[in-house]
Copies of this chain bind each other. A is one copy, B any other.
Amino acid sequence: MELLDGKRIADEVKQEIAAEVTLMIANGKKRPHLAAILVGNDGASETYVGHKEKSCSQVGFKSSVLRFPETITEAELLSKVDELNNDSDIDGFIIQLPLPKHISDQKVIEAIDPKKDVDGFHPMNVGRMTIGLPSYVSATPDGIMELLRRYKIETSGKHCVVLGRSNIVGRPMANLLSQKGYPGDCTVTLCHSRTNSLTEVLRSADILIAALGQPEFVTSKMVKEGAVVIDVGITRIKSETSKSGWKLVGDVKFDEVAHKCSYITPVPGGVGPLTIVSLLKNTLKAAKREIYG
C-alpha cells in the first residue's frame, strides 16, 4: 500500500507554477491575477479565501478579495461580476459559495465570463469538459486527475466506480475518467444514494472515488484487494483520542480499508491540498489565454 501524498504533489505543482510565473515576469508579461468575491461573514469561507490568497502569493500571483455585506442585492452583485468580466487586469475570478439565500448562485455563476471562470462552474466550461474540449476543470476533479497523473496510476480499461453524483465532484469525475487519453479510458460506473447492491458495485472497482460526504461510509467489505482508493470526503467528527476532542475523517474507513489498497489518499492531506493548486493552474491558463485564445 502506498499513500497518495496530496501535500507533496501540491508543493511540486506550486513550485512549477512559481517557476513559470518568474519566467513570465522576466519576459515582460503581466503577473497573473486571481480575484475572489466574498459575500457576508462566513468563517469557513473566510478561511478558504485566506488560503487562496496565501497560495497566490506563494506562486507569485497577484490576488485580490472583494468583500460585500450579506445585504448586497443580486443586481448589485451581478453588476460587480460584470465589472470583473471587463477588468483587463483580472485573469480569473471566483465567487465564494454559497451566496445568501436572496441571491441565485446559478444566476451569478452564469454571469461570469466563461473565459474568467477559473472555478469551472459555468455551464460553458462544464459542457466543454463533458465533450472533451479544453476547459477550466473544477478544483476537486482536476486535483484527482493530477494525483493519478503524478503517481502514474494506470487507468486505461480499468473499472472506475465513482460514489456520489454531485455536480462539483462525482459527475465531472465520471465524465473525465471516461474520456479518451490519460488519465482516462476507464469504464466508469456512477453510483449514488439510489444504487441497488452498492457493496457489490463498489467491490468491482479497480479505482474507487468516494465523494458521498458520509463519514467512514466505505468499509473493508466494499473494497477489492489491490484497489486504488481516492477519498474526497472530509468531515469533522468527535474523537476521544485527540486533544481537541475532534478529528477529520473521510468517506472511507481508512484504518480497515488502507491495507487492502494498492494506493489510498489520507484524510487530511490527500485530495484537499490539490484543490487550491487546481485553481492556481486554471488562473495560469487564463493568464496565458490557453483555453479560449
Contact = CB atoms under 8 A, between A and B. Distances in A.
Contacts of A196: 157-159, 187
B187 A190 contact: yes
Contacts of A106: 133
Given A171-B178, A175-B171, A187-B201, A157 B127 contact: no
A128 interface: yes
A175 B192 CA distance: 13
Interface of A: 106, 122-128, 130-133, 156-159, 165, 167, 171, 174-175, 178-179, 185, 187-192, 194-196, 201
Given A187-B201, A188-B190, A130 B132 contact: no
Contacts of A130: 123, 126-127, 130, 167, 171, 175
A156 B193 CA distance: 10
Nearest to A106: B133
A28 B234 CA distance: 57
Given A157-B194, A157-B196, A165-B178, 18 more contacts: A106-B133, A123-B124, A123-B127, A123-B130, A124-B124, A125-B127, A126-B126, A127-B130, A130-B130, A132-B167, A159-B196, A159-B201, A174-B174, A174-B178, A187-B191, A187-B201, A188-B189, A189-B190
Contact of A185 (B171, B187, B188, B194): B194
